Amino acid sequence: MRTRTSRSVVIGVDSSTQSTKAVAVDTATGELLAVGRAPHTVTGEGGARESDPEEWWTALTAAVRAAVRDAGVPASAVTGIAVAGQQHGLVTLGADGRPLRPALLWNDTRSAPEAAALAAGLGGPKSWLERTGSVPVASMTAAKWQWLREHEPAHAAAATGVRLPHDYLTERLTGHAVTDPGDASGTCWYGNGGRAGSGGGAGSGSGYDPEILDLLALDPALLPAVAPSGATRVGTLTGAAAEALGLPRTVVVAAGTGDNMAAAVGLGLGGAGLLDHPVVSLGTSGTVFAATRTRPADPGLAGFAATDGTYLPLGCTLNCTLAVDRFAALLGLDREDTAPGGDAGVVVLPYLDGERTPDLPHAAGLVTGLRHTTDPRAILGAAYEGAAFTVLRALDGLLAACGLDLTDSAVRDRPLRLIGGGARGRTWTDTVRRLSGRPLVVPAAEELVALGAAALAGGAVTGEDPVALAHAWGTGAGELLPPLERSTETWDRIAGVLTAASPGLLR
């Protein structure tokens, strides 16, 4: 392979639930040169979901090395790196700076009782919304810390540092304990109302709410400093990190952010790009978000900060592509071997991991409407519909909470940007089009989180706004799919089952 010696290259890392992806990107043009990948292991039964953060670091080094190698550039061409990580996970560090125990992941629902108790305290949900933009639920880091205090008090007492997944990896790169407003706003202890741009260290203008930290018995000295943005230059590689990655110590490291915030950057959403444009992400979880100047006060939404000074209100469902794939496996079908479930009167609520939106942390899946003549393909089709309905219902709630009129054609006809693994599936795109009645933009780029992280790295290197940089790179561009006639009959059928089932069968 011919070595490209004249490029300046930045690395964007997406450390997700299941794997790490690292992209090598030409800083000037945005050309994607290569992608490196390495898997993660998730363990746990019932509501438990855990991973070893040391495995994330091993995967990061392997993925970065592979990306640089396959890009055909010398290590000296790499000028910057940034990490985007799965949100909410709780990493506790010991005296040696290494994890005390496996990380509690975002989809670990064991902390549901602690979340409910926290939500009831501090003046109730309204007070939490005013302070942090979000009400504690099982996924939020505050609930996980409370669970650790109550169930593993020795680990909580021994902690010398408390980190989010991306914080942990950035610290391994630089030796500095730092986070950004976007990822910090998903903890429920970042208390400046979710507004980005409050720099400073922990307990010193950091945005951490001291009353919430007191409630959690969480010493602010255990928390990382909050950089002004995810594109803030926080340092360069340590000697150990440079050796592990095979890169020069001069490589600039950006603060990085959470995966949803990085995806927004990759799509060109933010103050220097698109505002109030809805996004649906179909992955292990289903998420809906938009960059906006308005932070909604809605207990069903997370009032996150974006990484550029705007807001990123977000709704999240726990059961999306993985749950539908599980139905396909149970039925012995290929994931694309479907028939629309609504045509046969079948309804599936695929809440196999409990559910976050709606807030049903102890829910199980529900199948109704079966007959002797029911085609298994209709059951699988209904699983797609149930998952897509749940995500799109969350999107309607988000747009309404942001003050947008859902009956206004300017809002109703605005294309959905469909991303995530599900966006590559024919049945997923057809189902979303049928249930939403909206046109779709499916970006051509497949690694938007990693590309958003690369734009943050590029911003740290060049001083440019990362949203403007991603827009110039064209990472959010893609095919426009026209709308299909909305299937209100299917929508109403699923909504009716959810309403009837919620008081008893799902809890």
Residues 6+ apart with CB under 8 A from 196: 180, 181, 182, 185, 228, 229, 305, 306, 307, 308, 309, 310
Using the structure block, give the residue that is written with the tokens 């592509």: 321
Rounded-to-integer distance, Cα 245 and Cα 363, Å: 43
Strands 416-419 and 19-26: unpaired
Determine the angle formed by the axes of helices 112-120 and 141-151, rounding to 10 degrees: 110
In this structure, what token pair is assigned to residue 345? 């009167």
Rounded-to-integer distance, Cα 41 and Cα 17, Å: 8
Phi and psi at residue 375, to the nearest 5°: -80, 130
Sign of CA dihedral 231, 416, 164, 171: negative
Amino acid, single-letter form, for residue 413: D
Q: How far is CA 313 from CA 59, 306, 491, in A?
A: 30, 8, 24
**Cis peptide preceding 358, ω within 30 of 0:** yes
> Which one of 14, 180, 209, 259 is the catalytic residue?
259
Active site residue 259: yes
Residues 6+ apart with CB under 8 A from 422: 282, 283, 320, 321, 428
How many residues are recorded in the chain?
507
Residues marked as catalytic: 259
